[in-house]
C-alpha cells in the first residue's frame, strides 16, 4: 500500500499534535496537582473568630468591626462610621481565614525593600475575639505577576523574616475605592 506525500505529512502532524496535547494537558495537570498540595495555610483561625480588621494603606486607613447583627454583620468604623459592604468584607475574610501561600523563603530584614515590604501596599491587622492580633504586610507583585510578596511578623527573629508568595487576590481585596467598602442602601 502506497501513501501520498500529503497523507504522510498529515499523519506526522497528527502524531506531533497528539504528543503536544499529552505533554501539555496530562503532564501539566499533574504538575498543577503537585504544586497545589505544597500550599500552606497562612493563618490558623476561622472567619467566625475575627472581630476587627484594620487595613493601613499609604493614603488611607480603614477599620471594620463585627457587629453581632446578622442583617448587617460588619460596620466600617474608619474613615466613616457606616455599614460595611457584605461582599467586600466576605472576600477579604475568606482570604484571611482560608488563604494559602504558594511558597515561602527567608530573607534578611534589610532585603525587604526588594519585595516591596519596607513600604507595603497594605498592612492588615486582624483582631480576634480572644483579643490576640495577627498581621500581614502585602508587598509588590512577583516576577510572573501572578502572586504578591507578603510577610507575617513574628517575635522569633529580628534579623531574618519569612517572605510568602500569596495570591494576587489579596491585592484585589484591599485595592478598592472607599465606596466599594460601604454597603449600598437598598431602594424600597
Is the pLDDT confidence value at 37 over 50? no
Which of 18-22, 47-51, 78-82, 123-127 has the weakest average pLDDT? 18-22
Query: What is the pTM assigned to this prediction?
Result: 0.75
Is the pLDDT confidence value at 104 over 70? yes
CA distances from 108 to 13, 85, 99, 118 (A): 52, 38, 25, 12
**Can you tell me the mean pLDDT for 110-132?**
92
Pairing of strands 160-167, 100-108: antiparallel
The end-to-end CA distance of the chain, in Å, is 80
Name the DSSP letter for residue 145: S
Name the DSSP letter for residue 178: H
With contact defined as beta carbons under 8 Å apart, do 115 and 165 qualify?
no
Please state, for a pLDDT cut of 70, what percent of the chain lies above it: 88
Is the pLDDT confidence value at 28 over 80? no
Is the pLDDT confidence value at 150 over 80? yes
Please state, for a pLDDT cut of 90, what percent of the chain lies above it: 51
Reported confidence tier of residue 2, pLDDT bands at 50, 70, 90: confident
How many residues belong to the chain?
A: 188
Angle at 66 between CA 167 and CA 168, to 5 degrees: 10
Q: What sign for the dihedral angle of Cα 122, 127, 128, 131?
A: positive
The strands making up 100-108's β-sheet, listed across from edge to edge, are 40-41, 100-108, 160-167, 147-151, 133-141, 122-128, 50-57, 60-66, 74-78, 82-83
Residues 6+ apart with CB under 8 A from 158: 109
Q: How far apart are CA 142 and CA 140, in angstroms?
A: 7
Amino acid at each position: 500500500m502506497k501513501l501520498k506525500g500529503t497523507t504522510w505529512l498529515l499523519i506526522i502532524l497528527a502524531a506531533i499534535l497528539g504528543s503536544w496535547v499529552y505533554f501539555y494537558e496530562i503532564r501539566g495537570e499533574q504538575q498543577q496537582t503537585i504544586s497545589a498540595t505544597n500550599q500552606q495555610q497562612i493563618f490558623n483561625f476561622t472567619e467566625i473568630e475575627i472581630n476587627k480588621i484594620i487595613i493601613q494603606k499609604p493614603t488611607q486607613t480603614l477599620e471594620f468591626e463585627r457587629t453581632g447583627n446578622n442583617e448587617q454583620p460588619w460596620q466600617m468604623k474608619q474613615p466613616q462610621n457606616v455599614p460595611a459592604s457584605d461582599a467586600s468584607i466576605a472576600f477579604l475574610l475568606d482570604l484571611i481565614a482560608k488563604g494559602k501561600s504558594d511558597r515561602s523563603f527567608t530573607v534578611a530584614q534589610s532585603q525587604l525593600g526588594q519585595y516591596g515590604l519596607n513600604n507595603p501596599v497594605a498592612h492588615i491587622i486582624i483582631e480576634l475575639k480572644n483579643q490576640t492580633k495577627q498581621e500581614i504586610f502585602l508587598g509588590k507583585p512577583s516576577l510572573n505577576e501572578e502572586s504578591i510578596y507578603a510577610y507575617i511578623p513574628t517575635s522569633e527573629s529580628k534579623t531574618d523574616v519569612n517572605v510568602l508568595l500569596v495570591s494576587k487576590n489579596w491585592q484585589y481585596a484591599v485595592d478598592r475605592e472607599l465606596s466599594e467598602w460601604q454597603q449600598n442602601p437598598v431602594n424600597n
